[in-house]
Copies of this chain bind each other. A is one copy, B any other.
């Protein structure tokens, strides 16, 4: 065998760039699936076909609640997992002596992305239908375009670019598309429970910076009982909506209090790192009746290192004190995210390599930065000792109206991920 010319970053980037039109077309396909919670199946079948077209071995499997519900990081749900499937494209390198790295330096890699998207709000608020993707001024618009179907396309195209050059990763690479990143993370947890591990995990969430920390967050639904009455004797009733508003006001005070505390991972960049979001509210059934019930859904951020139990207890205590003041019966349900915060040390091997690859591929220094949300990277790092981070295409209005992703950034991130495969896993000839 002649000596093998392994592709340089330059060659890899060329190969990525040749696939940009395909990337855009595939991204449009992905975005056209309305894959909100409970509706993820069709896009997963599409991804499965794409993985198969790349000659990846595919494992499509339903989440088994019984297998994950006792695991650290699990978030409880009140819906069924029937038909909820993750898809994993598995690259196992053939044994070879002809890789770009000695065997001991070939490291395995997980690319992980979620296919679920958040609801869109009324279609009428969008310039075009949120699931009819379109390109304008270098950006692709549609729900899930940035968060995070472009990220999934980035690792698919990165993998494909290597193949187009006649090579494959010289270590195991797992391309994972999961459900439920937007509410629990149980999709990724199920992949880990199923035994899928690697030396690092990268999630191309829509942050064009390498993520060094993310907040923890809990979701809870607070149900407030009032005392219904005719409005003619309003003072005899207790308005559950007014009651809920009072509780929210007290929770806002707690939010302010939490933000007076600084955390080294966040405080340099953010004035107000811990956001309490009142995401949903619903109460009452008749304009002239004092409403007897009102529920609201809270998302509360907190710093890494704060135990979940302590977070929940503080929230419970705040609600309990306020509710007793106003004589309001209440319940709290803790479904959805019960997610710890996490820091990803910028000095770890993967983090350093990713920064170096970024610089080499794009010619500029990567920025290392914390984010004020949660991502599935926490599972890898906290519970399975797998270094993990996020780095993905620059996006706008994620969870908002007219969400979009930069196609130039999609190309850049794809370049970085493709070069990173080479740098982290090593390459070997395809045949």
- The CA of A182 and the CA of B227, in the complex, are separated in Å by 19
Distance of A367 from chain B, by nearest CB (Å): 16
Q: Smallest distance from the beta carbon of A136 to chain B beta carbons, Å?
A: 20
Distance in angstroms from A35 CB to nearest chain B CB is: 14
> Which of B229, B234, B280 is in CB contact (< 8 Å) with A283?
B280
Within the assembled complex, what's the spacing in Å between the Cα atoms of A275 and B237?
Answer: 12
User: Least Cβ distance of A370 to chain B in Å?
Assistant: 10
CB-based contact B279/A289 at 8 Å = yes
Minimum distance in angstroms from A105 CB to a CB of chain B: 36
| A121-B293, A399-B229 known; A280 vs B275 contact (CB < 8 Å) | no
Closest beta carbon of chain B to A342's beta carbon, Å: 15
Whether the Cβ atoms of A285 and B119 lie closer than 8 Å is yes
Whether A192 sits at the interface, judged by CB under 8 Å, is no
Question: A274-295 CB contact bits vs B (8 Å, 1 = yes)?
Answer: 0101111111111111111110
- Contact A279–B286 (Cβ < 8 Å): yes
Q: Once the chains are docked, how many angstroms separate the CA of A230 from the CA of B22?
A: 29
Q: How far is the CB of A76 from chain B (nearest CB, A)?
A: 14
Q: A147-B230, A229-B397 are in contact. Are A287 and B281 (CB under 8 A)?
A: no
Within 8 Å by CB of A399, from B125, B231, B293, B372, lies B231
> Is the CB–CB distance between A228 and B400 below 8 Å?
yes
Interface residues of A in 189-235 (CB under 8 A from B): 217, 219, 227-235
A227-B400 contact given A288-B219, A292-B121, A299-B288, CB 8 Å threshold: yes
Which residue, A119, A245, A294, A398, has most C-beta atoms of chain B within 10 A? A245
Determine if A92 is an interface residue (Cβ-Cβ < 8 Å): no
In the complex the two chains form, what is the Cα distance from A299 to B272 in whole Å? 37
Residues of B within 8 A of A119 (CB): 285-286, 289
Tell me if A311 is interfacial: C-beta within 8 Å of chain B.
no
Cα–Cα distance between A290 and B121 once the two chains are bound (Å): 11
Cα(A288)–Cα(B400), bound, Å:
11
B290 engages A336 (CB within 8 Å) = no
Kindly list chain B residues whose C-beta atoms are within 8 Å of the C-beta of A290.
Answer: 277, 279, 399-400
Residues of B within 8 A of A77 (CB): none
Check if A301 is an interface residue, CB within 8 A of chain B: yes
Cα–Cα distance between A336 and B288 once the two chains are bound (Å) = 10
Residue A371 interfacial (CB < 8 Å): yes
Q: Is the CB of B281 within 8 A of A282?
A: yes
- Bound complex: CA of A241 vs CA of B301, how far in Å? 18
A242 interface hit (Cβ, 8 Å): yes
Q: List 7 A-B contacts (CB under 8 A).
A: A219-B287, A231-B275, A232-B275, A234-B275, A279-B284, A280-B291, A281-B281
Residue of B nearest to A182 (CB): B288
Beyond A286-B399, A287-B336, A400-B227, whether A373 also contacts B279 by CB under 8 A is no
Chain B residues with CB below 8 A from A230, complex form: 147, 373, 398-400
- Cβ of A280: which chain B residues have Cβ within 8 Å of it? 241, 283-287, 291
Of all chain B residues, the one with the shortest Cβ separation from A121 is B292
By beta carbon, the residue of chain B nearest A207 is B232
Contact partner of A288 among B118, B241, B283, B286, CB < 8 A?
B118
Chain B residues, Cβ within 8 Å of A177: none
Chain B residues with CB under 8 Å of A227's CB are: 400-401
> How close is A376's CB to chain B, nearest CB, in angstroms?
14
In the complex, are the beta carbons of B232 and A292 less than 8 A apart? no
Question: Which chain B residue lies CB-closest to A206?
Answer: B230
* Residue A337 at the chain B interface, CB threshold 8 Å: yes
Q: Tell me if A43 is interfacial: C-beta within 8 Å of chain B.
A: no
